[in-house]
Amino acid sequence: MNKKLFTQIKNEWHSNLWIMAELLLVSVIMWFIVDYIYVKVSIYEQPRGFDISHCYLLDIDKLSEKSPNYNANLKEETDEVNELINRLQRYPEIEAVSLSHWSYPYDGSNSNCNIACDTMKNDDYIYKRIITPDFFRVFQYRGTRGETPEQLAAMLKNNTFIASGNIFKQKYNIKFSSLIGKQFHFDGDTTTALKLAAAYLPVKYTDYEEAYSAKSVAFLLEKKDQNSKNELCIRVRAKEDKNFIPKLWKDCSKQLRIGNIYISQIRSFSDIRHNYQQIETNDMRNYLFGMGFLLLNIFFGLLGTFWFRTQQRRGEIALFKALGSTQASIFIRLLSEGILLLAIITVPAVIIDWNLAHAELNQAMNGTTLAAPRFIFTIMITFLLIALMIVAGNWFPARKAMKIQPAEALHEE
């Protein structure tokens, strides 16, 4: 059977050459599309490193001096903020309360820092997070050594810091957790040092950016630096998170207005996430629709090619039937020809795909465009997709052609 297939393909080399050229072009384009979609979906599905379910952001504002309720004798805003936090912590529905500065998820405001330990230092952007310890509990950060959010919160003190475990991974191939207990300098200041208390799992900046490049350092927000412009985040117990915002609003004017500060807005992090990523979400959807449309065109192109090829061979199919071949054996023969042609062109296609990835013309993920598992997986998916298109291109016209009587088909020939 195999010898007959190779002989037939060799004898029909002129027509098969054009089909193989088309399959080669389609295979390369298809691989590029599959690889692009694979990278985008894989990055989106990567662990975020935090959990925003049942979390809310409370905006704190200060009464204007023109307000009739303004108290000019109150000058210590920090004490008011601390009292507000204490009152929120006493709510049975609330699990954790944190105060932070340019640190909560899906926030476009950032600050950065440089970090150094002995001769090692970063060359890339590291986000600077200034937080109270319960920030880890609110957003459920996890340590690289299995530390719970509560354990991370207990480790963050005045003379310590906690950072994501991938800071030196790219440059030095070092797990940051191996440096726990060492002293670090920041922003070129060698006169002061902080001890690394723990390392947490990488925290993504957005759902569409990979964790590989998301690096951050968490410092303690001291009480003397707390003021009404900082971010007040809370986590509500899962069982109590029903109509929580209306419930909290009822207490805002009485129990939660302290001195000159008050809660001006309550937003769920689900809404914050949706609003912050709306443009990226739309872009991703448009890209996927575009790629899907291109795949559909490729499908119909290959379908038409093999449909026409099968229709042109009605006389050959009729001859096979006249010689006693079953419909199943005829279909397997036609299908085997298409799959064999695909297998032959897959070899040069893989070489072209490898060179495209080696030249970094495709999307990067985890710092590379050419990773063996990713490359093998996308090649296999590409092969299977084209094989399905070949099956569909042969199935329908072959079934129709095999219904014709051999004498009629041979008479037409």
How confident is the prediction along the chain (413 residues), in pLDDT tens digits per residue?
A: 455 555 655 556 566 788 888 889 999 999 999 999 999 999 999 999 999 999 999 999 888 878 887 877 776 566 788 889 999 999 999 999 999 999 999 998 889 999 999 999 998 899 999 999 999 999 999 999 999 999 999 999 999 999 999 999 989 999 999 999 999 999 999 999 999 999 999 999 999 999 888 999 999 998 878 775 679 999 999 999 999 999 999 888 778 888 888 899 999 999 999 999 999 999 989 988 888 888 888 888 877 777 777 767 666 666 666 666 666 676 777 788 888 889 999 999 999 999 999 999 999 999 899 999 999 999 999 999 999 888 877 777 767 666 665 555 555 55
Q: Is the dihedral of CA 156, 158, 163, 168 positive or negative?
A: negative
Contact between residue 310 and residue 393 where contact means Cβ atoms under 8 Å apart? yes
Cβ 195 vs Cβ 183: under 8 Å? yes
Q: By the 8 A CB rule, do 341 and 349 touch? A: no
The DSSP symbol for 165 reads: T
- Please compute Rg for the chain using Cα positions: 32
d(CA 339, CA 393): 12
Q: Residue written as tokens 């662990």?
A: 47
Q: How far apart are CA 264 and CA 255, in angstroms?
A: 14
Answer left, alpha or beta for residue 115, where phi above 0 means left and psi between -120 and 50 means alpha. beta
If we measure between CA atoms, which residue out of 190, 212, 193, 191 comes closest to residue 203?
212
Alpha helices in 72-174 (DSSP H): 77-89, 135-139, 149-155, 169-172
Alpha carbons 219 and 92: distance in angstroms, whole number: 28
Q: How many residues does the chain have?
A: 413
Tokens of 157: 């003190």
Taking alpha carbons only, the member of 274, 170, 165, 202 closest to residue 46 is 202
CA gap 153, 136 in Å, rounded: 6
**Tokens standing for residue 195:** 């001890």
Q: What is the pLDDT of residue 12?
A: 60
- Measured CA to CA, the distance from residue 169 to residue 178 in angstroms comes to 11
CA angle 92, 97, 100 (to 5 degrees): 170
For residue 331, the model assigns a pLDDT of: 73
The pair of three-digit structure tokens given for residue 401, joined into one six-digit string: 């052609």
CB neighbours of residue 65 within 10 Å: 8
Rounded Cα gap, residues 316 and 310, in angstroms? 10
